[in-house]
A and B are shown apart, each in its own frame.
Chain A
Amino acid sequence: MRNRKMAALTTVPYVIWMALFVVIPLVLIVVYAFTSKAGGFTLQNFSAMGDYAKVFARSLWLALAATVICLIIGYPVAYALSKMGPSFQRTAIMLLMLPMWINFLLRTYAWMSLLENTGLINTFFDNIGLFDLINKIALSLASDPSAYQPIDHFQMINTQGAVILGMVYNYLPFMIMPIYSVIVKIDRSMIEAAQDLGADSVTVFRKVIFPLSLPGVLSGITMVFVPSVSTFILSKLLGGGMNMLLGDLIELQFMGGAYNPYVGSAISLVMMIIVMICMTVMNRFGDGEDQAVML
């Protein structure tokens, strides 16, 4: 039993560290959320959030849209990957993870220069004469040709679509990886058994493969939704500051001109609760054990 004591001793610094820098900060957030600027107890910070209802709705909506798109693209890709040859699979997985090693900001910056009004995509459309064509058609259809404003670009950057695109681009591998790793582990004999019992390929997919891949889908959903709902960089760089998200709101309270850690803490608390709800819902369906380590 000496070993147990010794082992407990080695955890003491760790426990102190985690208490000081993980637990106490979160407790402080909760305390600040109920503290007024003068220092007393208040619920004002939460009622102040009513002004930001739009931001909450927008954050949830954009994160949800990105998650659904990631799932729609990610599932077929993961499934297709699992059908490839083993050496191709290994290379493909490496290529899938490689962009994740590039700084998040740089990946987003890459899209900024593509989506700009004078960016590569608009330049390309211009060069193939797309805008001329559109202008001609619109002009011939317009009831008042003199009032028609010809277009020379599509507005892509600084829109909600660009923010969603940024989320999908950055987090799509987080959806593909868990789904793929669950699908490749499915016991082949289960599928063969289903086929022997007369199931066609659609039924096999619907009744065997899909239900068995559900844990991967659920952890994919959390791994895309949580960073999407809390981002503040994507909305700043691709949304042009017009599409403020929850993350921006928090950032503004702590780093911006509107320095107010009390309201900031209240918003953080609400975001934590959203994340927690999301995790519990997902854990209820899947066995959450293996989703913590993702690499």
Chain B
Amino acid sequence: MKKKSTFSQRLLIFLLFFFLYAPIIVLIIFSFNSTKSRSVWTGFTFDWYVKLFNNSAILSALYTTLLVSVLAAVIATIAGTFAAVGLFNMKKRPRDILLQINNIPVINADIITGVSLCVLFVFLGKIFNFKLGFGTLLIAHITFNIPYVILSVMPKLRQLDKNLFEAAQDLGCTWMQAFTKVIIPEIRPGIVNGLLMAFTLSVDDFVISYFTAGSVETLSMRIYAMTKKRISPEINAISTILFVTILLLLIIINVRQAQQEKASARKRAEFENR
């Protein structure tokens, strides 16, 4: 394979990024437009941002989203990590069956996961006399987060030295101590990865929340309600804020990674020079 790219290949990639980003950039530009028009530029304003921060429905939806995402991500990470360790130590056959079940929410269409939980909650609600709300929303989010945590912790467990756990116990650790002091630090990257993934999936989710939240509203659901009414540059303003936040986060993560790589490279060089 010739490593060099041709002109047409570079053009293709340029066109792809134009296609991916042009709509988003237009969206951002029109968040500063002084009228509601989405095609004619009429002047610069911050009004829509001010309106956004005075919109109590959006603020409460944002609060719900953050609360459910943090809770679901933390609970799913703890539960998922314990479950992954347990699964890892199981015999092959039961483990394979459980991993198949674990994959169901990952593979299945979101709408099926949402609808099936909706059916369950309504069914149980009739028996135990409760309504769909924050509790059911949280359960749903934990449920679709756990499989992703397990999928990101499992590979780290496979890399682990099998004797480490027993060595810790031989040296006097209880099971729990060996788990928290030896295993957890070893698989921490996988756990952090799982936590971040769970959190972003929760923030981003619309379909499953829509079917399980009852009268509670998440940010995605608020946006959905707003897009149905169509005209409101406040949506553009939300998009801009979210986009800039994500961009900054990604830049920070990348810079930190680059710094860490540099630092470890320097250490290695020093070590070799000695």
Q: Tell me if chain B binds chain A.
A: yes
Please report whether the interface of chain A is mostly helix, strand, loop or mixed according to DSSP. Answer: helix
Q: Which residues of A contact B (CB under 8 A)?
A: 2-4, 6-11, 13-15, 17-18, 21-26, 28-29, 32, 73, 76-77, 79-81, 83-84, 92, 94-96, 98-99, 101-114, 116, 118-120, 122-123, 169, 172-173, 186, 188, 191, 201, 204, 209, 226-227, 229-233, 236-237, 247, 250-251, 254-255, 261, 264-265, 268, 271-272, 275, 279, 292-293, 295
- For the complex, what is the distance from the CA of A13 to the CA of B123, rounded to whole Å? 22
CB B115 to nearest CB in A, in angstroms, measures 5
Q: A116 and B38: CB pair below 8 A?
A: yes
Q: B235 and A106: CB pair below 8 A?
A: yes
Q: B115 and A22: CB pair below 8 A?
A: no
Does B17 reach chain A (CB closer than 8 Å)? yes
Q: Given that A25-B117, A99-B21 are contacting pairs, would A271 and B112 also be in contact in the complex, using a CB cutoff of 8 Å?
A: yes
Residues of A within 8 A of B85 (CB): 7, 10
Most buried by B among A94, A103, A104, A114: A103
Does B13 reach chain A (CB closer than 8 Å)? yes
Q: A14 and B86: CB pair below 8 A?
A: yes
CB B161 to nearest CB in A, in angstroms, measures 14
Q: Given that A114-B26, A209-B1 are contacting pairs, would A28 and B115 also be in contact in the complex, using a CB cutoff of 8 Å?
A: no
Residues of A within 8 A of B39 (CB): 113, 116, 118-120, 122-123
Residues of B within 8 A of A101 (CB): 200, 204, 246, 250
Residues of A within 8 A of B239 (CB): 102-103, 106, 109-110
- For the complex, what is the distance from the CA of A9 to the CA of B83, rounded to whole Å? 9
Q: A110 and B26: CB pair below 8 A?
A: yes
Does B259 reach chain A (CB closer than 8 Å)? no
CB B268 to nearest CB in A, in angstroms, measures 20
Does B67 reach chain A (CB closer than 8 Å)? no
Does B96 reach chain A (CB closer than 8 Å)? no
- For the complex, what is the distance from the CA of A292 to the CA of B149, rounded to whole Å? 12
Q: B112 and A230: CB pair below 8 A?
A: yes
The contact of B119 among A22, A32, A80, A186, by CB within 8 Å, is: A32
Does B87 reach chain A (CB closer than 8 Å)? yes
Most buried by A among B1, B105, B220: B1
22 contacts between A and B (CB under 8 A): A6-B175, A8-B86, A8-B90, A18-B101, A26-B112, A79-B9, A83-B5, A84-B13, A99-B24, A101-B204, A105-B206, A109-B235, A120-B39, A169-B23, A172-B20, A188-B1, A236-B228, A250-B111, A254-B118, A255-B211, A265-B115, A292-B151
For chain B, give the interface size range. Answer: 35 or more
Q: B98 and A15: CB pair below 8 A?
A: yes
The contact of A98 among B86, B88, B246, by CB within 8 Å, is: B246
Q: A77 and B24: CB pair below 8 A?
A: no
Interface residues of B in 1-31 (CB under 8 A from A): 1-6, 9-10, 12-13, 16-17, 19-21, 23-24, 26-27, 30
Residues of B within 8 A of A271 (CB): 109, 111-112
Q: B26 and A120: CB pair below 8 A?
A: yes
CB A113 to nearest CB in B, in angstroms, measures 4
Q: B116 and A28: CB pair below 8 A?
A: yes
Q: Given that A84-B5, A226-B109, A271-B109 are contacting pairs, would A77 and B16 also be in contact in the complex, using a CB cutoff of 8 Å?
A: yes
Does B152 reach chain A (CB closer than 8 Å)? yes
The contact of B250 among A4, A98, A232, A250, by CB within 8 Å, is: A98
For B103, the closest partner residue in chain A by CB is A292
CB A255 to nearest CB in B, in angstroms, measures 7
Q: A29 and B119: CB pair below 8 A?
A: yes
Residues of A within 8 A of B246 (CB): 98, 101-102
